[in-house]
Structure 1
Amino acid sequence: MLFLMRGARALESLSSRTGHLLAWFTWAMVLIQSCVVALRHLFDSGSIALQESVIYLHGAAFMLGLAYALQTDAHVRVDVFYRRMGPRGKAWVNALGFLLFLLPVCTFMLLSSWQFALNSWSVLEESANAGGLPGVFLLKSLIPLAAVTLGLAGTAQFIRALLQLMEVSSPVSESVAKPRLLKQVEEAEA
């Protein structure tokens, strides 16, 4: 049990750190886009490399931010039934949702984008625009990387759901008390 909890925490830490790094990407996007607009309107000039860097940063923030959104529960969810469920019901939904939906989607994303990214790497694909950024292959690599990071974040959520489902029900209301198994694992870690 302790091993599973440590694994979940490590995966969540990775997602959290990635999410905090990506927050800086959005600030960089805003600053660079402001420079592009200022160049265009104030100096009647432009830079394709600056414009493409906004696209690269946006792609990285979106694709790598998927795992952080899953971990922080910021993704779109139909909460008609989920919000009324108790902790065990939510754990069942999260566990089955990972196995039936998230894991197959991540697997499909990884398998279908792998050759796409490899082909780009094989020729070190560059921008089709004159003066553009040379690393298009890096941008295309974000697709399989997003599948991996999203799958890892889903695995952490799945582990937490399993630990909660393995918890023996206690006489204290589950919605009030922290599950004993999770509490025992946390105490053993300390």
Structure 2
Amino acid sequence: MRAIYLTICQALDRITALLCALACLVLTGTILSVVILRFGFDTGFVKLQNLGGYAFAVLAILSLPYCLRRGGHVRVEVFAERMPQGYGRIADIVALFAFVIPVFGLLAWAWLPDLAYSWSIREGAIETGGLGGIYLVKTMVPLAGVLMILQAIAVLLDPRITHLDREEMQQ
């Protein structure tokens, strides 16, 4: 059962990585296009600017579970140098149980009423003539919360994923 769960989380991580890469490409292309159109041709498109903003939002929120899976999250390791070798694993377990799982569970749960309303009205662009579909971008918030919880549990189940233990495994 553990192996199946870790396989599912790895597949979800690959999908997340693909979505992040796609969002990064869209963001780069739209920003480059906006700059060229604005300064080269003295024109612009609000929909194109909105697409860049949507891509940035998707990239920013989906980068969280992507980084957690790879142990790339930010840490403040003031005491880590003086602690025994297994300290990193214990710190990860405490942090994941005490902070990551409850906070992202609350984020996903608290966001659902706003998301349901956004979907019910098919929330469109804020600007006149802008790109619609904000409800699709807002869907990424609880999705990222659920992915964070799933990846946190995967980190708890598979010690090879942790940041500090990765260095120990290479030796």
Quickly name the TM-score band, shorter chain normalised: 0.7 to 0.9
Count of aligned pairs between the two proteins: 164
Residues of 1 paired with 2:109 and 2:80: CA distance?
31
Query: How do 1:96-111 and structure 2 match up within 5 A?
Result: 96-111=94-109
Corresponding residue for 1:126?
124
Cα offset, 1:86, TM superposition: 5.1
Cα distance change, pair 44–73 in 1 and its aligned pair in 2 (3 A): same
Q: Which amino acid aligns with 1:4?
A: R
Secondary structure at the residue paired with 1:155?
helix
Residues of 2 paired with 1:140 and 1:111: CA distance?
13
Cα offset, 1:8, TM superposition: 2.1
Residues of 1 paired with 2:68 and 2:169: CA distance?
24
Corresponding residue for 1:7?
5
TM-score, normalised with respect to structure 2: 0.86
Q: 5+ unaligned residues in a row in structure 2: which ranges?
A: 160-167
Corresponding residue for 1:54?
52
Contact 1:9 1:156 in 2 (8 A): no
The partner residue of 1:34 within 17, 26, 32 is 32
What's the CA shift string for 1:40-66, capped at 9, x where partnerless?
A: 111111100000000111111111121
Residues of 1 paired with 2:134 and 2:170: CA distance?
50
What's the CA shift string for 1:119-159, capped at 9, x where partnerless?
A: 11111110121221110111111111111111111110011
Residues of 2 paired with 1:48 and 1:177: CA distance?
49
The partner residue of 1:44 within 21, 42, 45 is 42
Query: How do 1:34-183 and structure 2 match up within 5 A?
Result: 34-82=32-80, 85=83, 88-161=86-159, 175=168
Identical aligned residues as a percent? 28
Residues of 2 paired with 1:98 and 1:9: CA distance?
20
TM-score, normalised with respect to structure 1: 0.78
Cα offset, 1:80, TM superposition: 2.2
Cα offset, 1:37, TM superposition: 0.8
Contact 1:102 1:151 in 2 (8 A): yes
Secondary structure at the residue paired with 1:90?
helix
Cα offset, 1:39, TM superposition: 0.8
Corresponding residue for 1:22?
20
Cα distance change, pair 177–61 in 1 and its aligned pair in 2 (3 A): closer
Residues of 1 paired with 2:44 and 2:114: CA distance?
31
Q: Which amino acid aligns with 1:93?
A: A
Cα distance change, pair 61–97 in 1 and its aligned pair in 2 (3 A): same
Q: 5+ unaligned residues in a row in structure 1: which ranges?
A: 162-174, 179-190
Secondary structure at the residue paired with 1:77?
coil
Corresponding residue for 1:183?
none
Q: Compute the RMSD of aligned alpha carbons.
A: 2.2
Residues of 2 paired with 1:68 and 1:130: CA distance?
34
Cα offset, 1:102, TM superposition: 0.5
Contact 1:15 1:71 in 2 (8 A): yes
